[in-house]
Amino acid sequence: MAIRLSRRKITSYIAQQLVDGVEVEQLVRQLAAFLIDSRRTDEVGLIVRDIEYELTKRGVVLARVTSAFNLAEATRHAVTKLIQAKTGARQVQLHEFIDPSVLGGVKIDLPGLQLDATIARKLTLLRTNYKK
């Protein structure tokens, strides 16, 4: 039976190992083995979220960028600069997602922060304000 460690200790350790350059696959296997052994697999989602937050504190930001189309290089650069300005991050990793329902613009999800500059969001706001 594994030792009971707090989620904060686990996520802090994993985040530091990632910053130090330890292979991701190795860390994932270790974490999976620990969670299975300690019967805490239901915490996976929370742990991933907390690791992203810990990485942000260490200057590495993982951002989910959703748009209707593939981002142009200039847009990627602008989004990266915006994230660095907002968070003070040294390193930004963009994970791009295509969702035609956003119609246009971008939605940026960061740990603890979201910017929704999509046309779908603007249309929703217009519709909501119009009904009032």
Give the start-to-end residue ranges of the domains of the chain: 7-56, 60-131
Greatest C-alpha distance within the chain: 59
- What pLDDT was estimated at residue 2? 53
Question: What does the pLDDT look like over 27-70, one tens digit per residue?
Answer: 999 999 999 999 999 999 999 999 999 999 999 999 999 999 99
- For the CA atoms of 81, 91, 41, 7, the dihedral, rounded to the nearest 10 degrees, stands at -100
Phi–psi pair at 39, nearest 5 degrees = 55, 45
Question: What does the pLDDT look like over 98-118, one tens digit per residue?
Answer: 999 999 999 999 998 999 999
- Confidence category of residue 25, pLDDT binned at 50, 70, 90: very high
Question: What does the pLDDT look like over 65-91, one tens digit per residue?
Answer: 999 999 999 999 999 999 999 899 999
- Confidence category of residue 129, pLDDT binned at 50, 70, 90: confident
Contact (CB, 8 A) for 57 and 21: no
Its pTM stands at 0.79
Give buried/exposed letters for 10-36 (b at 16+ CB in 10 A, else e): bbbbbbebbeeeeeeeebeeebeeebe
